[in-house]
Amino acid sequence: SDLQKQEERGELLQPLTFVLLVLCSVLLYFRVSLMDPGFVKPEGAEAGKQEAESSAVSWVPGGIPEVPARRCGYCLLKQPMRARHCQLCRHCVRRYDHHCPWLENCVGERNHPLFIVYLSVQLVVLLWAGQVAWSGLHFQQSWDWLKHNALLLISFLLIVTLSTVVLLLLVSHLYLISCNTTSWEFLSHHRISYLQHSGLENPFDQGVVLNLWRFFC
């Protein structure tokens, strides 16, 4: 059959790979959006365990004073350094980065690395889809061509727009990760007490290599 011939020639490998990437992207989306981003738990044994697990990410170099943990004004829990209360999720989130409206979840200590993986896979899918859409466009200066290719042209322009947004988002996050800072800390540096008292621009920065290693590994 034609399908068997295409399989023998290896023509089915690319579409199958694309479908798998799309499926992986969808699974990552649901995983990141449904998982606990690092909600601060009440004081106790579980909170102590969580504090130990997050020590590598929240580590501060010696000589820089740590601001004592304060009570959150919303949920009244003891708020560790780099945590912030999200009024949409109604929880304090460890190493809070931002609340993503597309995920309907916060991006924090636990799901931030997976969020970067999701953005990377999504960018590959969009670029691949854009290449496929571009290969089907053979421009001609005629009304009939525009009428028959309008949907494909709109799809290509939409893919380009989404690819640009995802690319900028991924690059900005990788830059902040390489500096060991978060979107919230970067945008609200002047309002965060532990940054104001540190005396340094970024007390968490340990160098690009170590910052990336601590974040992903």
∠ CA 35-184-178, rounded to 5°: 85
Spatial distance between the Cα atoms of 95 and 109, rounded to a whole number of angstroms: 5
Q: Is the dihedral of CA 196, 197, 198, 203 positive or negative?
A: negative
Position 71, amino acid: R
Spatial distance between the Cα atoms of 214 and 113, rounded to a whole number of angstroms: 11
List the catalytic residues. Answer: 100
Q: Is 158 exposed, middle or buried (0-12, 13-18, 19+ CB in 10 A)?
A: middle
**What six digits make up the tokens of 157?**
């322009």
